[in-house]
A = this chain, B = another copy of it.
């Protein structure tokens, strides 16, 4: 895939990585970054992530592909704003960690000829800003696309080709299915990491080792971004939280009763799932998925 102009709205870790990967791989002739923070734009220009920088969202309308990399509660309104200034053939996508609210808010409201396909790259970190961006962030990583019945096939194919050109592999799910899955695979783990860290008395920090540090790593993420994600997936997260509460209660009962067999069985249940996780990064698989096949890929 080769496009003329790529616009990245929100030049943080993810947006910076999108722009940088597109420049480095020759996917776009020109990468324009849009951010309301001039310091962020200066930093991204200095790092070679962008060709041009601008504070005005309207500029993105002139691009062939626009990727929204802003907080999940800003994306839908920005998609509609950019689409209003877009030309026929403009493709918009995003990197939001929740999909249903965004996709449904945009659905049916785009001008003719302007397409939107929701995307969620399963890549990132608790760190923030273009200084933590990487042109290889998407290499071998999965990007979930969440088309609806109203998404054009060509738009879906172009969105898939775009992410594959950045080194990712693509899977396709319904937006609501995506959000329910992410409640368990991402949003609940984040909430729990934050809760675990939050209850640690300050004077015990020096007694933590790699177990605590890994279990709570994501708690270092931005509270504003994550509050928006949790709220955008409220029902899914509440359901996942209830499921965790049930499992914690089973642990509590086994421990209180001194039931070693039950305790080992619960620990074994967790170990089996953890040990069975497929490799997170695929090497050399940038074109292995038919994006019109509406099922999750786990190859």
Measuring CB to CB, which residues of chain A are less than 8 angstroms from any residue of chain B? Answer: 122-125, 141-142, 144, 171, 181-182, 184-186, 188-224, 226-228, 230-231, 234, 237-238, 240-241, 243-248, 251-252, 255-256, 258, 260, 263-271, 273-278, 280, 296-298
Contacts and interface: CB of A to CB of B under 8 A. Distances in A.
Given A189-B215, A193-B211, A223-B268, 5 more contacts: A122-B208, A125-B210, A185-B204, A185-B208, A199-B244
A224 B273 contact: no
A184 B199 contact: yes
A16 to B, nearest CB: 18
B255 A200 contact: no
Given A214-B217, A227-B263, A231-B258, A184 B198 contact: no
Contacts of A280: 208-210, 213
A205 B255 contact: no
Contacts of A277: 205, 208, 212-213
A273 B214 contact: no
Contacts of A188: 196
13 contacts: A185-B207, A189-B196, A189-B211, A195-B247, A199-B240, A202-B273, A206-B298, A208-B280, A210-B280, A214-B214, A223-B264, A231-B258, A245-B248
Given A263-B231, A270-B197, A211 B192 contact: no
A196 to B, nearest CB: 6
A205 B260 contact: no
Contacts of A267: 194, 219, 221, 223, 226-227
A276 B217 CA distance: 12
B181 A204 contact: yes
Contacts of A252: 238, 241
A202 B297 CA distance: 13
B260 A296 contact: no
A274 B207 contact: no
B209 A184 contact: no
A206 B276 CA distance: 10
A195 B244 contact: yes
A297 B206 CA distance: 8
A263 B142 CA distance: 29
Contacts of A200: 184-185, 273
Contacts of A123: 209-210
Given A214-B214, A218-B214, A267-B194, A186 B209 contact: yes
Contacts of A241: 248, 251-252, 255
A124 B244 contact: no
A270 B231 CA distance: 18
Nearest to A224: B264
Given A215-B218, A227-B263, A206 B248 contact: no
A212 B186 contact: yes
